[in-house]
Each structure stands twice: as C-alpha cells, then as structure tokens.
Amino acid sequence: MKQIGHLKAPGNWMNDPNGFIYYKGKYHLFYQYFPYGTVWGTMHWGHAISDDLVNWEHQGIALFPTKYGDQNGCFSGSAVEHEGKMILFYTGVHYYEADPENIHVCLHDQFDSCQMRMVSEDGVHFDNWKDKQVVILPMEDNGHGHRTDTRDPKVWKGKNGWIMVLGSRGENRKGKLLFYQSTDLKNWSYINEVSKGDGWGWMWECPDYFETEGGQVVVFSPMGFLKDGKGEENQAICMVVDFQEDGCKMNMPDQYQYLDYGFDLYAPQSTVDEAGRRVLVAWLRMPKAVKEEGQVPWRGMFSLPRVVEVKDGHVYFRVHPNVKKLYSRPVRDVKDTGQKGYHLSLQLEDGGCVNVGGYRIFRRGSRIGTDRTDVFCKGEDYRTVFETPKIKEGFQLDIYVEEHMVEVYINDGEYVVSNGVYGLKKELFISGGSMVKLFGATDLSALL
C-alpha cells in the first residue's frame, strides 16, 4: 500500500512514530500499531519505507509480542545503525492482569516495563522469535509507579559511546528522564536522571535529544500538562538545553515551547536525513476513525516531516524541502488540486482571514489563530480554537492542507499550528491576504 504526503494508519489504529532512521539509502518509519480495530490495544510496530519522506510504502508489521517481556505490547522506541545492522530499541510490557473481556486492555494500569532490543540484518526482515533481547530489566518497585511507567528508549551515538534516554516518573508524581550509556549497545549502565519542579506533568513520555548548529534540543511529552479540562492533557514540548555527555548532565531552562500550537500532535521523533538535517515527525491524535467506501477504517496519522533548527534560543520547525517539492504544481483554483492536498502560501494582514474549506486561520495583531469549530467533532471536551504566542518575524503563512489535517507554518516554522479536521470542503476564501500562491501535488518521482 502506497501513501503520498502524510503517513497514515493503513487501516485500524496508529499512534507514536518509532524507529525513524535513514538506513542504507532509505527512510524507515515504524509506528505504534493496533491491527485489530480503530482503538489503542496490544502494541505492534507497523513499518513503512520511503525514498524521499513523502512517498511511503507500507511494509506490514515488523514487531509483535512473542516474549515474556513484551507479551502485552511492543511500546515506543528508536533505531540506530551499527555494523550495517538495524538495531531497534523499544519497551516491552507485561500486564499483571489483562481484562478477561478484552485481553488488549490492562486492568488497573499495572504492568511491568522492560527495555528490549531487536536486531535486523537488513531493515526488511524481523525475526520476532530469535532476534529479541531484554537489555534493561523492569525497575525495582519504589512505590512511585516507575516499574510501570519507564519507557520509550531513544538511542543515539555520542562522542564516547552510545546514549539512551528513557521517559519515567519519580516521587510526588513528577516526570523525569533517565540516561544510560553503553559501549556495545547490549550492556547499559545507568548514569543520571533529570527532572523539573511541580507543574511539569507526572510522567514524561517519548523523550528525544539532539544537537543542531544553533543549540542542543530536548523534546518530550509530559502527561497531565495542559489542565484546562479539555483533551488532550498530554502535550509535547521542547527547549534548548545544555547537555554534557560526560555524566549525562542536562540543564533544563524554565522556558519551553510547545512542539505545535494546535495541541493535536504528540510523541514526536526525529532522525537525521540524507543531507544531514534534523527531521522530525509527530503523531496526530484523531478523536474518531475515518470510514471511507471500500477502505478499512483507520485512525491516526503523522505530521509532515519538519526540519528542526535553532536560532537565538528559539526552536524552528520548518517544512521539509521534499514536501515543498511535492507541492510545486501551480494551480489557480483549489478545485484543481486533486486528492493529495495542496499548499497555500500568502502574507496575512492584521484582521485578515483564510477560510480553508471551513477551517479558519486569522490574524489578530501579532498572533495567528485557527478555528476548526465547523470541521471537527462537536463537544465541550474538544479544543477548537487556537492561538500562537506573539510572532516576531512577519506574517508569511505556508498552509498545507489535506483531507484530515491542516498545518499552518508561520514564517518558515517560527511557530506551527496543526489541527486534525473532519469534513473539510474543497473551498478557499481569503480576506486581507497578499502574495497568494496555490500549489497542487506533483509527481515527485519525476523531480528526484
């Protein structure tokens, strides 16, 4: 099965991106996958491959439960290349008690989490019976829940060996990061932990760390972070940090940015692309499944790939150049843009508004807002109106639209607002816009 643009669940359920890597000339992107319905359940890793980050080919299931450690799921993790092999790290979970009426659900949220690895010789074959190993046992029970809530290994090559960061929780319901080091990718030693004060969430999921030319960045997804009573509480944040590999000391400032100001994206993961750019994708949480004629219902998709850069202490998320190439066919009318979505570029003046098929993007002074009230599920539990912080660099908007997601890049990624949508119309009304350009999808293979 092929997909162009965003990667979507090939039927059923997907959540976090996993094992994102450029390996032997191809991009591999795995994802948390439940193959038996459009709800979260026993986690497998689905797998997709791409030459260019926009033309994706689904490969089916790579990882599935076979061992005591991962009996109830292969949770999130990452991939590295070593001696030509693809090495995957993930969290295996084992429930204390499964719901007898639905074995895909854990009773009382109590389970053991261990960190596991799986080796694939070629990134294509995955022997779930032979090639898995536990590398970090479940934590000793300390009465604070970290035996259950320690997960999502992200591994990278440091200057003096391999480093792993895990998301976890500590005393007083505070999230934290745990750092480990290894010289052989098999034996891991605990080095350090890092946390913040109150108000930073009770568990930090899916950490990622990387260096850019402009600074070192940490990204993670604290649970219980946005407390306005609406979904979702768990939000991905990022910040520029000071990280010393020796002793894995991380100095985290008090200021943070949201990954995305639409608050729908979660659990991002990054890798380095072919040209050495830091590229990241995130999961779009979708409150209901999409059911289309002749298709298996599906729920969950990924953002477009974004290049992460740091300038003057600010983290930018710029749309990947291959996405721009994909949407490079000038069109006059939105009705001529076809099935694969489109890119609308414009400058927005104060008081201006773009209505993208029922999804409104507007400018109020130095902020950009969005409103999806007319193209989303109804109900008080859902956030429908969004706003960026004050913008500094102008009001250039690059809006990428597809059937179930709108991504608004402001000033080439100074801020991004992305939202899931349902029932978007193929219409476009603009007031207060200038330099308007519209692009449909092109056949990218012809350009590469």
Binding mask 236-275 for ligand FRU (x = CB under 6 A): ------------------------------xx--------
Q: Is 131 a catalytic residue?
A: no
Q: How far is the CB of 249 from ligand FRU (least distance, A)?
A: 24
Spatial separation of the C-alpha atoms in residues 50 and 55, rounded to whole Å = 6
Output the smallest distance, CB 243 to ligand FRU, in A: 22
Task: Look at the alpha carbons of 7, 10, 11, 16 in this order and tell me if their dihedral is positive or negative.
Answer: negative
For ligand FRU, which residue of 52, 70, 112, 205 counts as binding (CB under 6 A)?
205
Name the 3-class secondary structure at 321: helix
- Only one residue has tokens 């791409």, namely 50
If the CB atoms of residues 75 and 111 are measured against ligand FRU, the closer one turns out to be 75
Query: Scanning the structure block, which residue is given the tokens 């994206």?
Result: 265
For residue 121, the minimal CB distance to ligand FRU (Å) is: 25
Could you give the string, one character per residue 81-120, with x where binding to ligand FRU holds by CB under 6 A and - elsewhere? ----------x-----------------------------
> What is the pattern of x (binds ligand FRU, CB under 6 A) and - over residues 58-77?
-----------------xx-
Which CB, 52 or 205, lies closer to ligand FRU?
Answer: 205
Length of the chain: 448
Instruction: Compose the 150-179 pattern: x for residues touching ligand FRU by CB under 6 A, - for all others.
Output: -xx---------------------------
Q: What spatial distance separates the first Cα and last Cα of the chain, rounded to whole Å?
A: 21
In whole angstroms, what is the distance from residue 401 CA to residue 405 CA? 6
**DSSP category for residue 305:** P
Judged by CB under 6 A, how many residues of this single chain contact ligand FRU?
13
Specify whether the CB–CB gap between 237 and 258 falls below 8 A. Answer: yes
Q: What is the CA radius of gyration of the chain?
A: 21
Cβ-based nearer residue to ligand FRU, 62 or 206: 206
Q: Residue 69 CB, nearest distance to ligand FRU (Å)?
A: 14
Min dist CB 221 to ligand FRU, Å, is 6
- In the stretch 24-63, what mask flags binding to ligand FRU with x, by CB under 6 A? --------x----------x--------------------
Residue nearer to ligand FRU on the CB measure, 23 or 111: 111
Residues 73 and 128 sit within 8 Å (Cβ to Cβ): no
Under 8 Å between Cβ of 269 and 206: yes
- Beta bridge partners of residue 329, listed in sequence order: 440
Tokens found for residue 416: 């991004």
**33 vs 44: CA distance, rounded Å:** 5
Among 10, 13, 14, 16, binds ligand FRU (CB under 6 A): 16
Beta bridge partners of 284: 265, 301
Give me the least distance between CB of 43 and ligand FRU, in Å please: 5
259: left (phi over 0), alpha (psi -120 to 50) or beta: alpha
By CB under 6 A, what part of segment 390-429 binds ligand FRU? none
> How far is residue 111's CA from residue 92's CA, in Å, rounded to a whole number?
10
Active-site positions? 16
Site residues (vs ligand FRU, CB under 6 A)? 15-16, 32, 43, 75-76, 91, 151-152, 205-206, 266-267
